[in-house]
Amino acid sequence: MITPQTLTGMILAGGEGRRMGGRDKGLEPFAGLPLVAHVAKRFDGHVSELLINANRNTDAYALFATRVIEDAEGGFKGPLMGIYSGLRAAKTSWLLVAPCDSPALPNDLVARMVAGITSASGEHDIAVAYDGERLHPVVALLRTSLADDLANALAEGERKIDRWYARHSWCKVDMSDCPETFANLNTEEEKARLELTLSTIFKDPASKETS
């Protein structure tokens, strides 16, 4: 059984933000708060600890997590390195990861991912969110015991998340009822468009309610 006590959350915020001119995406403002703050709300009260994987501005990110961890190896080696860093840092049996640039993720993301892997036929090591058309490999629930295997894969030069997942028993978690919530923001234009589209569902930033 996966309970909050056996689950660590982690937000991936370790990228270079190239398509945003090199700015730190997780700290970009969206609906009155940094993008990372919206994602952090999805974990609040549902995990034993929330990590943020970041390679710069760690003091700023520390406001939104229990711990901020940098990539185990420098050089901005991509999200698979971030996932490995989280698997290694987590103190629980399971790790749920989400990207910093998807501010509209379902409010019940944690419960749905846990229910998805629990109800799937067979015993799986990884669960990946599925919006009805495509997988979202950076929204995933993983056993932390996979850390050594991922270390070996990275040492062999592996950088593709889906290729590494395919080496293990995994399942998809159907979230086809809310595909729009997985929109991720890579440009100023995408950010402005999503902010306008979702403006009605975000509460006042001063409110303690979840958006």
Is residue 14 marked as binding?
Answer: yes
CB 140 within 8 A of CB 97: yes
Is residue 160 marked as binding?
Answer: no
CB 143 within 8 A of CB 59: no
Q: What dihedral angle (degrees, nearest 10) is formed by the CA atoms of 189, 56, 160, 39?
A: -60
Calculate helix-pair angle for 35-43, 109-119, nearest 10 degrees. 50
- The residue assigned the tokens 């996979």 is 146
Is residue 13 marked as binding?
Answer: yes
Separation CA 183–CA 160 (nearest Å): 20
Is residue 12 marked as binding?
Answer: yes
- Which amino acid, one-letter code, is at 87? L
- Per-residue burial over 28-61, b if 16 or more Cβ lie within 10 Å, else e, is bebbebbbbbbbbbbbeebbbbbbbbbbeeeebb
Is residue 25 marked as binding?
Answer: yes
Separation CA 159–CA 17 (nearest Å): 18
Separation CA 53–CA 15 (nearest Å): 9
Extract the annotated binding site.
12-14, 25, 53, 71, 101
Annotated binding-site residues for Mg(2+) read: 101
Q: Which residues are annotated as a binding site for GTP?
A: 12-14, 25, 53, 71, 101
